[in-house]
Amino acid sequence: MKKLLVVLSMVLASSAAQASNANVKFVAKDSSVESKLCVVAAESGYKAAINEAKLLGSKYEAFAFVAKCNGQSLRAFAQSFQAKPALETSEVAKLTLVKPANESIESQLCASAAKNGIEAIQSEVKYDVRELICNGMSLTRFVKYNKSI
């Protein structure tokens, strides 16, 4: 029972911390352009801060590249407040399920090669499996295609 209470209190504490992060309000220290750019960077991102500097004039556009927010560059400051997506598209593992179309040995070999690689199935048969055609493609191309999906 104590363990359950400890776990529940930890979950509640972490969810409360996440909820409070979502309700953060940024306030400028003063009315300077630098403070204004820092607030825009924290709330809307680096590009929004650069666009804001462009609206203020060419003098401030150059200033935006050297501005410091809490000791960090404008870009680093903006990135520290931007929500990170759970998984980037490039980080998501892409899985392809290749099922044999029928019970033929060729269909089984194609599916096995897509899953395990060509070298793994070469020992199963007495002929060169690279001559095998899978879904109208050479086996090598079929395996590469299904690995890249």
Question: How confident is the model over 9-28, as pLDDT tens digits?
Answer: 454 444 444 433 456 677 77
Co-location of 142 and 93 in the same domain? yes
The reported pTM is: 0.42
- Which sign does the torsion angle of CA 102, 106, 107, 111 carry? positive
Question: How confident is the model over 46-105, as pLDDT tens digits?
Answer: 888 888 888 888 777 777 778 888 888 888 888 887 765 555 555 555 666 777 888 888
Co-location of 134 and 90 in the same domain? yes
pLDDT of residue 57: 81
Co-location of 67 and 28 in the same domain? yes
Co-location of 46 and 99 in the same domain? no
Co-location of 91 and 148 in the same domain? yes
pLDDT of residue 84: 56
pLDDT of residue 14: 45
Structure tokens at 72: 């960090």
Final residue of a domain: which of 84, 106, 123?
84
Could you tell me if 111 and 142 are in contact, meaning their C-beta atoms sit under 8 angstroms apart? no
Structural domain containing residue 75: 24-84
Residue written as token pair 């079929």: 142
Residue 145 has pLDDT above 70, yes or no: yes
Co-location of 102 and 70 in the same domain? no
Co-location of 99 and 71 in the same domain? no
Does residue 108 form part of some domain? yes
- Residues 6 or more apart whose Cβ sits within 8 Å of residue 143: 113, 114, 117, 118
Number of structural domains the chain divides into:
2
Instruction: List, in sequence order, every beta strand (DSSP E) within the chain.
Output: 68-69, 72-73, 133-134, 137-138
pLDDT of residue 18: 40
